[in-house]
Amino acid sequence: MSSRDQTDASPMEGDKTDAKGGDQTGALPPLPSASGGFGDKLGDKFQNIMTFEEFTADEYKMDHLNRGLAIVINNEVFSKELGLGARTGTYQDAVALNERFEDMGFDVQMHENVPVKEMVQILTKAAKDHNYNMNSDCFVCAILTHGEEGYVFGVDAKIETKQLLEPFKGNNCGSLVGKPKIFIIQACQGSQFDEGVAVDVADAKAKPAREVQVYKIPSEADFLIAYSVVPGYFSWRNSTNGSWFIQALSRVLGLHWQDMDLLTIMTRVNKIVAYEFESRTTKEYMNQKKQIPCITSMLTKEVRFKPKKK
């Protein structure tokens, strides 16, 4: 790596028991939301209907007419009030993802320097629009920005990451029930540096169903959230080449999107970021630091991106 490595961070700084002896939870009953959420629930009218074979399969159905929508939100320049530096190098990340997603058959939407309110509007609209384009495999969103643990930044403010996922949950977006919802987050999750640890390595030698039967699945199911770094740590970006995580992801997708499942792809990305990258900066306290991405999976099946027929 060159000496242009940077970080994507903000500045430093009783059990309820079922009387019948059934399942229990160690939490209080949920309180109603004061915010009203993300608009109307999108009921059964838009529900994705699967055959029993599709429901019980070990792979998601990926032979719909369309691959689906891929949204890339690329925030580079931020409001002066936030005190956040420009994310130089992020253009290379956005270009790499755009090319890769197009190769994979996605319809790509690129959004540059987006305020928080608009980020919410873009994703809420995408979830609602999906209900009128149900013949799609999945949904992908990549967010390239500054962040801190649990939050990402629009160009004017920060927002909880989980709020951006809300419109795509099964109880809000019926057409994506049982389909993969993939979020890629390139942002810091804290202000710690990963010093790394030395490892001694020995060189050994240099169809439609006629009847619909209702099954319940969790509304949080079928998400994969790929964070560029584990909670608590800085995420690195090179001002010339782009971020370690996105460039590694683009590389592995380019080689293996047609022959590997998504979790295997993400494991390869983890390996590249962990083994091949180390910070090179003129500031000693930031020099020779490491990074490991963090993949949170609620997938229930394998994701395999089979090529679309031209």
pLDDT mean across residues, the chain: 86
Output the 3-class SS for the chain. CCCCEEECECCCCCCECCCCCCCCECCCCCCCCCCCCCCCCCCHHHCCCCCHHHHHCCECCCCCCEEEEEEEEECCCCCHHHCCCCCCCHHHHHHHHHHHHHHCCCEEEEEECCCHHHHHHHHHHHHHHHCCCCCEEEEEEEEECCEECCEEECCCCEEEHHHHHHHHCCCCCHHHCCCCEEEEEECCCCCECECCCCCCCCCCCCCCCCCCCCCCCCCCCCEEEEECCCCCECCEEECCCEEHHHHHHHHHHHHHCCCCCHHHHHHHHHHHHHHHCCCCCCCHHHCCCECCCEEEECCCCECCCCCCCC
Give the C-alpha separation, 118 to 267, whole Å.
Answer: 32
Mean pLDDT of the region 204-209: 51
Tell me the pLDDT band of 193, cut-offs 50, 70 and 90.
confident
Confidence (pLDDT) at 215 = 74
pLDDT of residue 127 exceeding 70: yes
Tell me the pLDDT band of 130, cut-offs 50, 70 and 90.
confident
Tell me the pLDDT band of 16, cut-offs 50, 70 and 90.
very low
pLDDT of residue 260 exceeding 60: yes
Residues 6+ apart with CB under 8 A from 195: 289, 290
Strands 66-74 and 136-144: parallel
Tell me the pLDDT band of 213, cut-offs 50, 70 and 90.
low
Give the C-alpha separation, 77 to 97, whole Å.
Answer: 19
Confidence (pLDDT) at 26 = 52
Give the C-alpha separation, 61 to 137, whole Å.
Answer: 7
pTM of the full structure: 0.85
* Residues involved in catalysis: 146, 188
Highest mean pLDDT among 106-110, 129-133, 202-206: 106-110
Confidence (pLDDT) at 54 = 87
What are the structure tokens assigned to 240, written together?
């010339």
